[in-house]
Amino acid sequence: MKVSDVCTAEVVYCGPGVTALEAARLMRHRHVGDVVVVSNPDNDRIPIGVVTDRDLVVEVLGNGREAAITPLSSLVRTPVVIATDCEDVQEVLERMRTHGVRRVPVVDGRGALVAIVTLDDLLAALLADVQALLETSHRAQRREQSTRR
């Protein structure tokens, strides 16, 4: 299974100069828990980091920093963990485990942001396989019942 089969194309992104306050508003209005910070939102969209709602709480509120003057560039962890759209999901799972992240920006062949893939996406894909396995197993049993009465 490829990353492009399971990732979410509706990714929210912004530039590194955007403040924690603006990011919080983006998260509120777009109903997401993370924004991808890219070098140039209007052009090449190279991811430089991910900022989660949790980062805003822990790094800004928890540290007594002023959200209106804290740029996201001071919050992102680098280097950013990324995935490419044609990669196998197994490799991305491995990378999530190594780095302890649940959300990974997906880039195209030129390195531009195109989507985001989350642990939830991967879990859903995995469970769809398990579901298919169970259905196959049930069907095989029914077929046996109907052919060998």
Partner 1 sequence: MIVSEICRRNPVTIRSHEELISAAALMRERHIGYLIVVEPHPPHAAPRPVGVLTDRDLVVGVLAKGADARLLKVGDVMTRDPIVVCEDTSLNSALAEMRRIGVRRIPVVDAVGQLVGVLSLDEVLDAIAEELRGVIGSIRTEVRAEGARRP
Which two three-digit tokens encode residue 126? 């995995």
Q: How far is the CB of 55 from partner 1 (least distance, A)?
A: 9
Q: How far is the CB of 81 from partner 1 (least distance, A)?
A: 19
Q: How far is the CB of 68 from partner 1 (least distance, A)?
A: 7
Task: Give the dihedral sign, CA 74/27/102/66.
Answer: positive
Q: Which residues bind partner 1 (CB under 8 A)?
A: 20-21, 24-25, 27-28, 33, 53-54, 56-58, 60-64, 67-68, 123
Q: How far is the CB of 27 from partner 1 (least distance, A)?
A: 6
**Smaller CB distance to partner 1: residue 61 or 128?**
61
Residue 48's SS3 state is strand
**Smaller CB distance to partner 1: residue 6 or 34?**
34
Answer for the pair 81, 104: CB distance below 8 angstroms, yes or no: yes
AA letter at 94: E
Q: CA-CA distance, 83 to 79, in Å (whole number)? A: 13
Residue in the block written with tokens 């991305």: 92
CA 43 to chain centre: 21
**Smaller CB distance to partner 1: residue 65 or 95?**
65
**Smaller CB distance to partner 1: residue 9 or 133?**
133
